[in-house]
């Protein structure tokens, strides 16, 4: 992502805006208002206008936003023209699901290498992605210039693998394990705890009904 002094919450909403704008453009829509965006992405219009304001004057009062121009702008912010190679570490059930998801069909990222200890799948192609032995982790990370890794391994080995990934040159880890990783300051970790998300959803359903949290 390009350098902009924006809140983390705003940064997390940018891909959502980009995907919806692409849908609008594909449907032939040329302009959109913040209220129309609000109805689609379920963020209030004031939040959308505030998010956009961090990047200057993106729209015109009484006109709204030019869909193509706005999508192009956010595409540049999100580096959509640059395809990022991603490593998947752990090809169990969740790992297989992520391979089958094919990130490259809907974003600027693709899983280009996977790693596992299961000899039945090492040196095979799974969902179009080569699976390497964990012994080859550092070499493949370096050879393929991989900067981001997805970690879907058992918690007891997560920290050791995070250490190896950091030493190999990875600067971002999408962590699906329940363990909170200790990594160098130049490595960013995004934690995805599916159990926690489900428990949070159940809490809100039980206590606040069906409204979005």
Q: Give the pLDDT confidence of 145-192 residue by residue, as tens digits.
A: 999 999 999 999 999 999 999 999 999 999 999 999 999 999 999 999
Compute the average pLDDT of residues 27-53.
90
Residues 119 and 165 in one domain: yes
Which residue range is the domain that position 44 belongs to?
8-77
**Tokens representing residue 44 in the block:** 């209030």
Helices (H), 61-174: 67-77, 93-101, 137-143, 155-168
- Asked if pLDDT for residue 57 goes beyond 80, the answer is no
What is the rounded average pLDDT for all residues in the chain?
87
Quick one: CA dihedral 123, 109, 42, 67, positive or negative?
Answer: negative
For residue 155, is it within any domain? yes
- pLDDT at residue 101, as a whole number: 83
Q: pLDDT tens digits, residue range 126-144?
A: 998 999 999 999 999 999 9
Domain count, the chain: 2
Residue 141 sits in a domain whose CATH number is: 3.40.50.720
- pLDDT at residue 73, as a whole number: 87
Count CB atoms within 10 A of the CB of residue 155.
9
- Asked if pLDDT for residue 5 goes beyond 80, the answer is no
For residue 131, is it within any domain? yes
Q: What is the pLDDT confidence band of residue 76, given thresholds at 50, 70 and 90? A: confident
Q: Pick out the residues of the known binding site for NAD(+).
A: 90-95
- Asked if pLDDT for residue 211 goes beyond 60, the answer is no
For residue 202, is it within any domain? no
For residue 107, is it within any domain? yes
- pLDDT at residue 81, as a whole number: 61
For residue 124, is it within any domain? yes
C-alpha neighbours within 13 Å on the C-beta side of residue 175: 24
Cβ(64)–Cβ(71) below 8 Å: no
Compute the average pLDDT of residues 103-119.
81
**Strongest mean pLDDT among 3-12, 64-73, 111-120:** 111-120
**Tokens representing residue 81 in the block:** 């023209």
CA gap 100, 156 in Å, rounded: 26
Residue 63 sits in a domain whose CATH number is: 1.10.10.10
Q: Pick out the residues of the known binding site.
A: 90-95
Residues 128 and 189 in one domain: yes
Terminal-to-terminal C-alpha distance of the chain: 27
């Amino acid at each position: 992502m390009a350098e902009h002094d924006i809140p983390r919450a705003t940064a997390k909403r940018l891909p959502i805006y980009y995907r919806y704008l692409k849908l609008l453009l594909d449907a032939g829509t040329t302009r959109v208002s913040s209220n129309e965006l609000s109805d689609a992405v379920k963020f209030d219009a004031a939040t959308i206008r505030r998010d956009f304001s961090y990047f200057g004057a993106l729209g015109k009062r009484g006109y709204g936003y030019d869909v193509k121009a706005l999508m192009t702008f956010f595409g540049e912010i999100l580096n959509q023209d640059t395809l990022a190679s991603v490593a998947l570490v752990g090809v169990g059930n969740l790992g297989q699901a992520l391979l089958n998801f094919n990130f490259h069909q809907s974003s600027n990222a693709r899983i280009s290498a996977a790693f596992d200890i299961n000899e039945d799948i090492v040196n095979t192609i799974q969902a179009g992605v080569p699976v390497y032995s964990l012994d080859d982790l550092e070499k493949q990370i370096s050879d393929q210039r991989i900067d981001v890794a997805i970690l879907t391994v058992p918690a007891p080995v997560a920290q050791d693998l995070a250490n190896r990934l950091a030493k190999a040159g990875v600067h971002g880890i999408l962590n699906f394990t329940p363990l909170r990783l200790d990594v160098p300051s130049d490595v960013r970790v995004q934690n995805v705890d599916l159990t926690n998300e489900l428990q949070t959803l159940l809490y809100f359903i039980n206590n606040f009904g069906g409204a979005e949290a």
